[in-house]
Structure 1
Amino acid sequence: MRYLPAFVVDAVLVLIFAVIGRASHGENPVGFLLTGWPFLAALAVGHLIAAAVPMRPRRPWSLGWGLIAWVVTLAGGMLLRLATGDTAETPFIIVASLVLGLFLLGWRLIALLVRRYRRPPEA
């Protein structure tokens, strides 16, 4: 259950990525689930892999967890797109890499900085 909030944040960000992508191409943003489902499926796998990796401490909001989620989401999402007859052109791969990296690692970096600067100074 402690993994759920991070997964939900990641899933919302993946869906925002899909909405932005569709809107930027003049497509109806309402079809974001058609664009986003391969990345959501890969995100779920990424979280499962991150949970299985023997890192300590195991925190779904850590940068290490986010790195695993990002790489698996990107690679798995692209592979699922190709497997279902969709495209994965080089510019799309580059943009997806950058945006998903920013989204999946960015909020974790902000959380890390907030936690670091909210700690009382050590005596």
Structure 2
Amino acid sequence: MFEELEKKLLDPDFRRHRANVSALLDEEFVEFGASGRRFNREEILALLEEESASEITASEFETTMLSDRAALVTYRSMRRNGNVSEARRSSVWVDRGNGWKLVFHHGTKIEEEASRSAWTHTGETARGN
């Protein structure tokens, strides 16, 4: 279910309509974007209305139920709009009795070097060899 909700929010045809996105965002929604900027609900809704369409795909979904009414969803996204950019994303969904709403979202850009070699840094492996 959460993967489907996240993919809706990545779909350019869905996300350009304020009412669609508004229905899924909690009134207290906050996002820390891959850029490092903090956005509130109204800022995100306004930005998405002006956003140029680009293909965004998602993979590596994992969901952890934090309680009966809260879930943490993590995944990897790839945006193609001339260039390719990848990010690790995390979302917190809550059910306050009126359906599941996104209350928090965070994106961390994956640098090209890190994307190619996640386990190697300056010749050392994650085990320290």
Q: Where is the strand percentage greater, Structure 1 or Structure 2?
A: 2
Q: Where is the helix percentage greater, Structure 1 or Structure 2?
A: 1
Per the normalisation by structure 1, the TM-score is 0.29
Instruction: Indicate the structure whose relative CO is greater, using CA pairs within 8 Å and at least 6 residues apart.
Output: 1
Per the normalisation by structure 2, the TM-score is 0.28
